[in-house]
Chain A
Amino acid sequence: MGKNLFNKVWDLHKVASLSETRDQLFIGLHLVHEVTSPQAFQALRERGLPVKYPQRTVSTVDHIVPTQNQLIRPYRDDLAEQMLQAIEQNTSDFGLRFYGLDSDSQGIVHIIGPENGFTQPGITIACGDSHTSTHGAFGALAFGIGTSQVRDVLATQTLAFERLQVKKIDVAGSCPDGIFAKDIILRIIADLGVMGGLGYAYEFAGPVIHGLSMEERMTVCNMSIEGGARAGYVNPDQTTFDYLEGRPFSPKGEKFTEAVAHWQAMASDPDADYDDVYQLDATSMSPMVTWGITPGQGIGVDQNMPRLSEVDETEVEITQKAYEHMGFDEGQKIEGQKIDVAFIGSCTNGRISDFRAAAEVVKGRKVASHVKALAVPGSRKVKLQAEEEGLDRIFTEAGFEWREAGCSMCLAMNPDKLVGRQLSASSSNRNFIGRQGSSTGRTMLMSPAMVAAAAVEGAVADVRNLI
């Protein structure tokens, strides 16, 4: 029996066994941002420890930065200013690579890693952020970690970790027009539930997955965590190698050829063993929309919200809570629900292809007068590229605000927030209560093209009627 990528990469990075079930795992790349790192740097200072391998750390600012007037300091929010100063000081004191506000490479940590070529197949990656799973798109093992573990990686470049099982998610068929990577992952989470991935890494496979671009694969892997899986990955293939060639930190020349051979060898063997397999056919899929308060509460845009009598017994309590918060009625149609806010951006869907797809819907149309619409590029490079292509003008002419790079309204640690009970159509990853900055605010997750459709229609709409 062959080996899957997860176990190959794990074995390559294993330093020692710490107990029967726990290994010491070397971390090839550590990504650091301002929110989950200050306490870790403080712990190193208290112990008088340096960062073990500074060249393996990449840091930036994304969560707290405003997306307007980003360069005007000090920030009006004292707490945000304090956090920003802390990461500037910490990365300077410990000699780390830092893409701060003065860098053209600043942006959401899960967007700048890949676009600069740091994220590579067959490596281990850790970051104090659960959406680190994004990097699995390249065939890396990428884990979200807590601050104590950020301290461990800074000081030792290793983690104490338990090996995960691997569930292969095989997506067959073909992807119809109007169906995007976001729809595929929302459907997988709806099918397998928000606990479907507990104890597993998801290996996304099959013709539909391998037909996706790297950016689309990142969207799928990004939301592994919403399905309960701590990591998700796609085996590297020619699409992966083509994406990586020529990136600033990708291997060059002969080294690139050698790297490709190594990357190919890290992919799961054709006869690899899996702990579980799930099969999905994408052919008959509809665009997905979440109606509730967990990412698993998603349905096709042409479907009705579930009745309490239809849901599994174990889901009754959370379904009731969802209806209570969202103010919808069971059995109601999702299409036509009037929205207040449209948000395109985040580590899930803040890449150039996301803005191209949304711009195609928005072009020549106007945002509904009652809707506040934000388009927030995930990185400065994405922003620049979009502006070169004239996408910013398509958005602003339609009535969108075109902002600067950051996490923005995905988690509202910055000035971008829902107000009161506003209902938001969002390309982000979490519809949790309070997630977008208002304790009574409401979030519906969908693809960027679906957000664009909702923005121009002023209500949840089927994007297939607009393209």
Chain B
Amino acid sequence: MSNNPAAITAVQGTAIPLPGNDVDTDRIIPARYLRSVTFEGLGAEVFKDERFNDEGSPKSHPFNEEKYAGAAILIVGRNFGCGSSREHAPQAIMRFGIKAIIGESFGEIFAGNCTSIGIPACTADEQTIDELQKLVQNNPQLNFDLDLEAQTLSSEEKSVAVDISPAAKTALLAGTWNTLDELLQNEAVIEEVHQRLPSFV
């Protein structure tokens, strides 16, 4: 186990289910809410068009339901986060309070962006996701424990195995998910590669 304070080994808390497949990044955070030079305030805009009508009145959506308030673990379907590379999508989810996402599968850039900001994006099969979503719908106060080393999601009711890409797991457990320091290290080799490749002067 790493001593790095940035290491992410576990996520605990209640969960929030978001049924449905192919939830794209434009649904997570529509492009017109990206008109900002910071990520601050994005938590309030997450799923904006799905949570509120054009007049600003709330619509029926899990993210609007009191019973899921304070949830740390988001449970989603297949191909979640497909579409754009906007990091605003996982940033908005994180700033809403989510600390881990469990889904059947993810858009690849989205999953990478989750890792980059320290959010584990884990996968499980369709039946497991379906059962987890129902379990949470029926018992929204249920506490879960995501153990990244063991790759399990446990509660009093149920414990399931989850998967995560080896690179993401290594980076989260070692606390190197913020890649900048690691990448700054190989300066001499970077210079060597730069020198031998064409450049645009």
* A residues at B contact (CB < 8 Å): 12-13, 15-16, 18-22, 24, 26, 28-29, 35-36, 38-39, 42-43, 47, 52-53, 55-56, 58, 63-64, 77, 79-80, 82-83, 86, 118, 120, 123, 128-130, 132, 144-149, 151-152, 155-160, 162, 194-195, 198-199, 225, 228, 230, 249, 251, 259, 293-294, 314, 317-318, 321, 411-413, 430, 432-435, 437, 439-440
Contacts and interface: CB of A to CB of B under 8 A. Distances in A.
A230 B79 CA distance: 14
18 contacts: A15-B186, A26-B190, A35-B34, A80-B35, A120-B198, A128-B85, A130-B83, A132-B85, A158-B186, A194-B79, A228-B79, A249-B200, A251-B198, A314-B21, A318-B22, A411-B26, A433-B26, A439-B54
A28 B26 CA distance: 29
A407 to B, nearest CB: 9
A86 B194 contact: no
B78 to A, nearest CB: 7
Nearest to B52: A439
A131 B30 CA distance: 17
Contacts of B78: 195, 314
Interface residues of B, number: 58
B184 A413 contact: no
A135 to B, nearest CB: 14
Given A24-B182, A39-B39, A144-B84, 5 more contacts: A22-B167, A56-B199, A128-B87, A432-B24, A435-B31
B2 interface: no
Contact of A83 (B30, B35, B107, B194): B35
Nearest to A321: B20
Given A55-B200, A433-B27, A148 B113 contact: yes
Interface in B102-143: 105, 107-109, 112-113, 116-117
Contact of A16 (B27, B79, B178, B189): B189
Contacts of B31: 63, 411-413, 435, 437
Contacts of A35: 34, 86
A259 B197 CA distance: 11
A15 B200 contact: no
B183 A130 contact: no
Interface string B49-85: 1100110000000000000000000000011001111
A260 B80 CA distance: 41
Nearest to B193: A26
Given A39-B39, A145-B85, A123 B186 contact: no
A64 B32 CA distance: 9
Contacts of A18: 182
B65 to A, nearest CB: 20
Interface in B152-201: 165-167, 170-171, 178-180, 182-184, 186, 189-190, 193-194, 197-201
Which 5 interchain pairs have the tightest Cβ spacing?
A146-B87, A439-B49, A146-B113, A79-B35, A148-B116
A15 B189 contact: yes
Nearest to B84: A130
Contacts of B117: 148
A420 B43 CA distance: 25
Contacts of B199: 28, 53, 55-56
Nearest to B90: A146
Contact of B49 (A82, A129, A148, A434): A434
Contact of B167 (A21, A156, A159): A21
A162 B115 CA distance: 13
Contacts of A411: 26, 31, 84
A225 to B, nearest CB: 8
B197 A129 contact: no
A148 B87 CA distance: 8
A434 B30 CA distance: 7
A258 B201 CA distance: 17
Given A55-B200, A79-B35, A123-B197, A162 B183 contact: no
B37 interface: yes
Interface in B1-53: 20-22, 24, 26-27, 30-32, 34-39, 49-50, 53
